[in-house]
Chain A
């Protein structure tokens, strides 16, 4: 106890060096825990985005690409799927439900998704949560449109507002020439927040996608005056010919694997079916290398912090020659001296760890909404994970061990060293 209070007082005596050391360890600890938090958060966010979907089906290509554009709205499809093939699988006896997606248009940087009522009925996230409406209802007519929560918030649109969607998915404002100006949509609903990429899209009917492209030929908009007037377009006379991909739920899990094989070898059209959980696992394995590299960097940052502590303790010994000598003169044995210095370094690293935890909590609370808004990544504010505790424990242990270096020096110094005047 005496040693502890002695160590504490000695640290307090050198307040500036102590706090700088604690700060450097704290910062590096916050970095390590932050990287871990983001890693866990990203995995949970991604896994929570899609639930109860057995297969994602699209044109044959990369499985990861199919997952990314269908679920996370990242990247784009190289090929579409014919509506006929979609109907074939939708009516397959093993299939419970499907959600078709037609992608490729946007509105002020947000993607426009053509889909059907099935999307609002069947899509599940976070295990069993369903899409809810904050206001209004799902689109019923060709030119009805529903806003994701983030879209409604950042663009400030209200129910009944007219929205013009653009051809293509260029970021920012759509290319003016490619606006589907002649066929504006009316906002009929706003979705409740889901904290998934669902929040960052606009939703219309599949027929709506067909309607805006009806007079387009060779990738160019119709000449002025040649457009089919919006009034003439009804849901019934719009024929959907293709979609981008679809989500599918089977009646049984055993049928899933069978259906996956059937779709992958469908002779009518080259298609592929992926199991989202499996493809996500492939994604993590790919990203794993980058994560490992980041982890190595943060571990080095921690090492630098600990080395800084070693340097400060070691150099302080010169100033503390007299202190050590007095301690020994009044009866403190070499063991006590060693214990004192080890305790000091242990306390420093413990304080650094605590500061790191506090910092990461504070930063998480401040930045959580911003990260969620910007990247759709929900990083939970939670106590350190098992790995986090292991890091914290190892840094404290490393701190104690490092304390032995200055302790050894102090022990080796002769008793008379601090009492005599150095020349």
Chain B
């Protein structure tokens, strides 16, 4: 009896970890944009978190060569065409830092990070979007922007709307 109790105690932390899950909604991605400053030559980062289904088309670990190829191709497209998905002010250049797939229980997420360098000030300029042009399954993106002292949020549906960087 004691052994059973001890075993169940051991199992407890494992269980509690498994019970916590992030919200996961297909077609709904999250984009975070951060700039340290908006004047001078700003540097920043952009990160995208999207259900893998919306980008790759499936959410299981790619095992067959066909699936692997599909995944590679989708991630390559993401890297190559990210500038069309997030249109930063002219003069800002994004370089991929990390693009990977995270498996979480029955779901998988694509996590992409890009570093940004801008040639000139971006204050007063705007950021627009074109997610569904590249990945038609992304309908809605929750965008958070931190730029200098500005903190803003925008729900982008079907690429509509733009975010203005504060002056």
Same assembly: yes
Q: Report which A residues bind B (CB closer than 8 A).
A: 51-52, 54, 127, 252-254, 256-257, 265, 267, 270, 275-278, 281-282
Are B149 and A52 in touch, CB under 8 angstroms? yes
Q: Does B150 contact A (CB under 8 A)?
A: yes
Q: Report which B residues bind A (CB closer than 8 A).
A: 17, 20, 22, 32, 34-36, 44-45, 47, 144, 146-153
Are A257 and B149 in touch, CB under 8 angstroms? no
Q: List 16 A-B contacts (CB under 8 A).
A: A127-B149, A253-B44, A253-B146, A253-B148, A254-B34, A254-B44, A257-B146, A270-B20, A275-B144, A275-B146, A275-B151, A276-B151, A277-B152, A278-B153, A281-B153, A282-B153
Q: Hey, which chain B residues are within 8 Å of A278, CB to CB? A: 144, 151-153
Q: Hey, which chain B residues are within 8 Å of A256, CB to CB? A: 34, 146
Are A257 and B32 in touch, CB under 8 angstroms? yes
Are B36 and A267 in touch, CB under 8 angstroms? no
In whole angstroms, what is the CA distance A39 to B11 when docked? 54
Are B153 and A253 in touch, CB under 8 angstroms? no
In whole angstroms, what is the CA distance A254 to B44 when docked? 7
State which of B17, B22, B147, B152 has its C-beta within 8 Å of the C-beta of A253.
B147
> Taking CB as reference atom, which chain B residue is nearest A60?
B20
Q: Which of B17, B22, B44, B153 has the most chain A CB within a 10 Å cutoff?
A: B153
Given A253-B36, A257-B34, A257-B144, A277 contacting B150 (CB threshold 8 A): yes
In whole angstroms, what is the CA distance A278 to B30 when docked? 14
Given A265-B22, A270-B20, A281-B152, A253 contacting B35 (CB threshold 8 A): yes
Q: Hey, which chain B residues are within 8 Å of A254, CB to CB? A: 34, 36, 44-45
Q: Hey, which chain A residues are within 8 Å of B144, CB to CB? A: 257, 275, 278
Q: Which of A52, A253, A267, A270 has the most chain B CB within a 10 Å cutoff?
A: A253
Q: Hey, which chain B residues are within 8 Å of A54, CB to CB? A: 146
Q: Which of A252, A254, A267, A275 has the most chain B CB within a 10 Å cutoff?
A: A254
In whole angstroms, what is the CA distance A26 to B142 when docked? 44
> Taking CB as reference atom, which chain B residue is nearest A266?
B20
> Taking CB as reference atom, which chain B residue is nearest A282?
B153
Given A267-B17, A270-B20, A278-B144, A252 contacting B36 (CB threshold 8 A): yes
Q: Which of A54, A270, A278, A281 has the most chain B CB within a 10 Å cutoff?
A: A278
Which 7 residue pairs across A and B have the least CB separation, nearest first? A277-B151, A278-B153, A257-B32, A253-B146, A254-B34, A253-B34, A254-B45
Q: Nearest chain B CB to A378's CB is how many angstroms away?
A: 20
Q: Hey, which chain B residues are within 8 Å of A267, CB to CB? A: 17, 20
In whole angstroms, what is the CA distance A265 to B144 when docked? 18
Q: Hey, which chain B residues are within 8 Å of A275, CB to CB? A: 144, 146, 151, 153
Q: Hey, which chain A residues are within 8 Å of B34, CB to CB? A: 253-254, 256-257
In whole angstroms, what is the CA distance A67 to B45 when docked? 26
In whole angstroms, what is the CA distance A54 to B146 when docked? 9
> Taking CB as reference atom, which chain A residue is nearest B33?
A257
> Taking CB as reference atom, which chain B residue is nearest A270?
B20
> Taking CB as reference atom, which chain A residue is nearest B49?
A261
In whole angstroms, what is the CA distance A54 to B32 when docked? 14
In whole angstroms, what is the CA distance A80 to B146 when docked? 28
